[in-house]
Structure 1
Amino acid sequence: MRRRLLIACSVSLAIALTACAGGAGAAPRYTISAAQLEGAVAGKFPRRYPVAGLIDLNLQAPRLRLLPAQNRLGADMAVLASGPALRRSYQGGFDVDFGLRYEPSDRTIRATQLRVNALRLEGLQPPAAEMLNAYGPQLAEQSLRDVVLHQLREQDLAVADGLGLQPGGIRVTAQGLVIDFVPKPR
């Protein structure tokens, strides 16, 4: 038991010294690639959303866009709309963008602050289109609110935790996400 503790402390110290050796500005960070994000989100779709018992929207897995200049992600989803109010099925697209937040209770990166850019359904009559446009922001909130984009494992945070750090800001880069670590509050 004592030997394991000594080994764990030695490894932590070595990692800490390596992190410090990079210079005063070097700080630990965790990177998530664009491919990792796509894979995690794809597993959450397709999703079906009934709208007031009149329309059913079926959203397919989104294609994610990295928006580093806005520090946001964009998502384009194929949509199939059907139901009693439409009398037939319509295909189209749903375009949103959103910010990111870290949820410490389960170590996840989640979507937040959603904005609807467009909801398009080909051949839809104006009254039905108006109803969908009225519900568009609400549908975006339901479809992507708190969608888990990535979950950090305990071992991903072990060294940072041992150094008294926790995930802080999340930056969107051209390659994916970078999570910076900050000191834990005392």
Structure 2
Amino acid sequence: MHHRRQFLSTTTRSLALGSVALFIGCGALAQPSYTVPLAQLQEMVGTKFPRSVPVQGLFDLNLQAPQLRLLPAVNRLGATMAVDAAGPALRRSHGGSFDVEFALRYEASDRTLRAHQIKLGRLDFPTLKPAVTDLLNAYGPVLAEQSLREVTLHQLRPQDTAVFDGLGLQPGPITVTAQGLEVAFVRKP
């Protein structure tokens, strides 16, 4: 009976140690990450708007805070923005909207996630003549770039990265998921 208990005790300890080793081994393979939820991104981008973008001295586009959406299938964010066009070339103010998609990059100097690689959808102004809307769409990519280029969507605080810093890791690839942005941490060079 004593041998059976000792065998079971030894076997149980071996299985437990094996499980811990397997867990540690799997953990070493898993890349540590930090997730930023969509609501937090929306709150941060909201502080950067409204914005005004002049168009060739003819009129200004006044942009309201974008409504962000996650696009995990293409690893980008999308945004719909309300815009108001007004100025000397227009008789009155015209409301409209436009859609953009963009990727994200990490800026180490201030620990921020920023918009870049901006692609504009079509600008839509229901009350403007089609020729004027076409003119706006010709300037569209430049307008999108001016309005969103390098807009900060999130800033990591020192306490957000302190553990990773101590392990010799730094923010790396940013992945758009259904839950938000996942910032992977990679070894510092």
Q: Mark yes or no: TM-score above 0.5.
A: yes
- Measured in 1, the distance between the counterparts of 2:148 and 2:24 equals 38
- 1:22 deviation in Å? 5.6
Same amino acid, percent of matched pairs: 65
| Structure 1 length-normalised TM | 0.86
- 1:20 deviation in Å? 4.9
- Measured in 1, the distance between the counterparts of 2:121 and 2:150 equals 18
- 1:104 deviation in Å? 0.3
- The runs of 5 or more residues in structure 2 that have no matched partner are 1-22
Q: Contact 2:33 / 2:183 at 8 angstroms: preserved in 1?
A: yes
Aligned to 2:93: 89
- The runs of 5 or more residues in structure 1 that have no matched partner are 1-18
Aligned to 2:44: 40
- 1:162 deviation in Å? 0.9
Aligned to 1:15: none
Within 5 Å, give how 1:2-151 maps onto structure 2.
20=24, 23-151=27-155
> Could you list the runs of 4 or more consecutive aligned residues of structure 1 that deviate by over 2 angstroms after TM superposition?
19-27
RMSD: 1.4
- Measured in 2, the distance between the counterparts of 1:158 and 1:42 equals 27
Q: Contact 2:52 / 2:60 at 8 angstroms: preserved in 1?
A: yes
- Measured in 2, the distance between the counterparts of 1:142 and 1:20 equals 47
Q: Contact 1:97 / 1:115 at 8 angstroms: preserved in 2?
A: yes
- 1:4-45 Cα offsets, whole Å, 9 max, x none, are xxxxxxxxxxxxxxx957623222211100100000001110
Counterpart amino acid of 2:155? Answer: Q
- Measured in 2, the distance between the counterparts of 1:20 and 1:134 equals 55
Number of aligned residue pairs: give it: 167
- 1:78-102 Cα offsets, whole Å, 9 max, x none, are 0110111111111110110000000
Give 3-state SS (helix, strand or coil) of 1:75's partner. strand
Greater C-alpha Rg: 2
Counterpart amino acid of 1:76? Answer: T
Counterpart selection for 2:169 from 161, 165, 168: 165
Q: Contact 1:31 / 1:178 at 8 angstroms: preserved in 2?
A: yes
